[in-house]
Amino acid sequence: MAKKLVVKVTAGADAPERCSQAFTVAAVAVASGVEVSLWLTGESSWFALPGRAAEFDLPHAAPLPDLLESILAAGRVTLCTQCAARREITEKDVIEGVRIAGAQVFVQEALGDGTQALVY
């Protein structure tokens, strides 16, 4: 089993099932003791802002705020630099614990030894 899991979520409210799957997999991995790095890109970028996860609703899915909270507590959450810029989101806007970083950092994480990367 991979020692580290990098999950890139590209979907938000525009593709709720795919979005929820990414957050669920990341949260389950964290709960299983796997080192997790969740990347928010595209429409999922909005979930880096306070209160936005609470607006997400998908029947029969775990609440997104709970999943995000568990990932933040034991993993890492990163907002894509370009995605943030396109949405005029800055470091002062994001939830505490969310960092903003670019593709170079994603590639470094995804290609690390013992790492499995998934893109949703």
> How many domains in the chain?
1
Return the closest-CA partner of residue 103 out of 12, 36, 41, 37. Answer: 41
Place of tokens 């002062």: 92
pLDDT of res. 119? 97
Q: Is the pLDDT of residue 2 over 90?
A: no
The CATH number linked to 85 is: 3.40.1260.10
Domain that holds residue 66: 4-119
Q: What are the tens digits of pLDDT across the range 25-57?
A: 999 999 999 999 999 999 999 999 999 999 999
Do residues 48 and 86 lie in contact, with contact meaning Cβ atoms separated by under 8 Å?
no
> Whole-angstrom Cα distance, residue 11 to residue 35?
22
Q: Please state, in angstroms and as integers, the Cα–Cα distance from residue 54 to each residue in 2, 57, 61, 66, following that order.
A: 31, 8, 13, 9
